[in-house]
Amino acid sequence: MIKVFPYQEIINLLERLEAGGWKVELEGENLTVRGNILPKPLMEEIKSKKELIIQFLSGDIKEEKIETHNEPDPNVLLSEPKTCYSCGGHSFWISKHDAHLRCVTCHPPATEEIVTGYINF
């Protein structure tokens, strides 16, 4: 098992919304999106991820443990640096292809389909 934080997908969604001129706010327990009318696919994506968005915005971030099909060798995790050599970051994503860590900031995944999980050191 690996500690995984499922919020990178939510961060990406919130960044796309902000870039499109929408503002996402938490009002009590309700999620509010302000701005122009949302395209239907974007509205559906928000609805499908509503609970995670609320958790993220409220600061109620929970670790999630997942089984990976291509789980990194513990020796790889121990031998790889705990900080990015370029930016000094501590957040990495785990590739489904080779189970190696890649910096979320310097080398973001092209799509979520190639990500096994995320890990913070």
Same domain for 52 and 9? yes
Three-state SS string across the chain, please?
CEEECCCHHHHHHHHHHHHCCCEEEEECCEEEEECCCCCHHHHHHHHHCHHHHHHHHHCCCCCEEECCCCCCCHHHHHHCCCCCCCCCCCEEEEECCCCCEEECCCCCCCCHHHEEEEEEC
pLDDT band at 61 (very low <50, low <70, confident <90, very high): low
Same domain, 33 and 72: no
For residue 93, the enclosing domain spans 68-120
Do 93 and 54 share a structural domain? Answer: no
Residues 78 and 55 in one domain: no
Q: Mean pLDDT, to the nearest integer, of 15-42?
A: 89
Q: Domain end: 16, 45, 62, which one?
A: 62
Among residues 62, 85, 110, the one where a domain terminates is 62
Q: How far is it, in rounded angstroms, from Cα 23 to Cα 101?
A: 32
49 and 79, same domain (yes or no): no
Query: What token pair was written down for 5?
Result: 């934080």
Query: CA-to-CA distance for 72 and 51, rounded, in angstroms?
Result: 29
Is the domain of 84 the same as that of 48?
no
* Among candidate residues 37, 62, 87, the one where a domain is terminated: 62
Whether residues 44 and 83 fall in one domain: no
pLDDT-based confidence at 34, cuts 50/70/90? Answer: very high
> pTM score > 0.75 for this model?
no
The Cα–Cα gap between 52 and 10 comes to 7
